[in-house]
Amino acid sequence: MKIMGIDIGGSGIKGAPVEIETGLLAGERYRLATPEPASPDAVGDVVAQVVKHFKWKGPVGCTIPSVVRDGVAYTAANIDQGWIGTNGRKLLQRKTRCPVFLLNDADAAGMAEMEFGAGRGQKGVVIVLTFGTGIGSAIFVNGQLVPNTELGHMELRGKDAELRVSDHARQEKCLSWKKWAGRVNEYLGRIEFLFSPDLIIMGGGVSKKHEKFLPLLNTRAQVVPAQLLNDAGIVGAALAARALV
C-alpha cells in the first residue's frame, strides 16, 4: 500500500509516496523551499503543490515542527507563530483536497526509525533525537510513542538546549566536533538522568557525519546513528496516515 508522506521543515518541504510495508519511497522525493514567512496559508499552498506534483488523491501524512494534538498546532518552532492555535489538519485538507494526518516532525522520524531503522525490534525506553536547525525528540516505551516530548526545549545552562547543542548552533559558532560533542554529552547526561533510556538514536542531518562525533560521546545507554536520514520524516508521516485508511 502506498501513502503520501510530506515533511515540513524550516528550510524545505519535501514529500513522496511511501510503500508502507517496506518503508521505501515509491517515487523520487520532491522538495520545494519553505516560504518566508512560513504562515499556515503559505505552507499549505506549498504542501498542495507537492501533492499536485504526484497527482495524488489518497491519504496524506504530514509533519510539522510543532506540538500537535488532534490536528491543532500548539507551538511553532522554526515556523511562523501564526501556526499556534491553527487546525493544521483542516487547513491542509482544504488546500490538498485529501484526507490529512498531521503530527510532530520528530515523532514521525522516530516512528520510521522504530519500524524500519535503528530502533527496529528494540524494547525498553528508546529516545530518538534529531539534530538540525533545532533538536527534535521522540520517546518510545516498548515500541509505543509518547507524543510531543520536545526535549530540544529542555533548559540547559539557562536557555533552550537546542540553542547550545543543535547542529545549527555547531555551525553558527564554528565549533569543532570535539567541542560540540562535549556539549552533546552534557545534554545527553541530563536526558539519561531524567529518562534512563536503553537506546539513543541520533538523527537529523548531522547523523550523516556520525563517525566524527559518536566515538566522543560518553553515555550509559547505547548511542547509534539513525538509518533513514532525510527520508525519516516522510516515511514516518506516511506510517502515521495509516490511521486514515
How does DSSP assign 26-72, residue by residue? SS--EEEEPPSS--HHHHHHHHHHHHHHTT--S-EEEEESS-EETTE
Containing structural domain, residue 43: 2-107+232-244
Give domain status of residue 126, yes or no.
yes
On whether both 99 and 67 belong to a single domain, the answer is: yes
On whether both 69 and 140 belong to a single domain, the answer is: no
Q: Is the pLDDT of residue 133 over 90?
A: no
Mean pLDDT of 206-232: 94
Residue type for position 70: D
Report the CATH number that the domain containing residue 130 is assigned in CATH. 3.30.420.40
pLDDT of residue 18: 98
What is the residue-averaged pLDDT of the chain? 96
| Number of separate domains in the chain | 2
pLDDT by residue (tens digit) across 42-90?
Answer: 999 999 999 999 999 999 999 999 999 999 999 998 789 999 999 999 9
Per the CB < 8 A criterion, the answer to whether 34 and 11 are in contact is: yes
Give domain status of residue 113, yes or no.
no
On whether both 47 and 127 belong to a single domain, the answer is: no
On whether both 135 and 188 belong to a single domain, the answer is: yes
Q: Is the pLDDT of residue 110 over 90?
A: yes
pLDDT of residue 146: 97
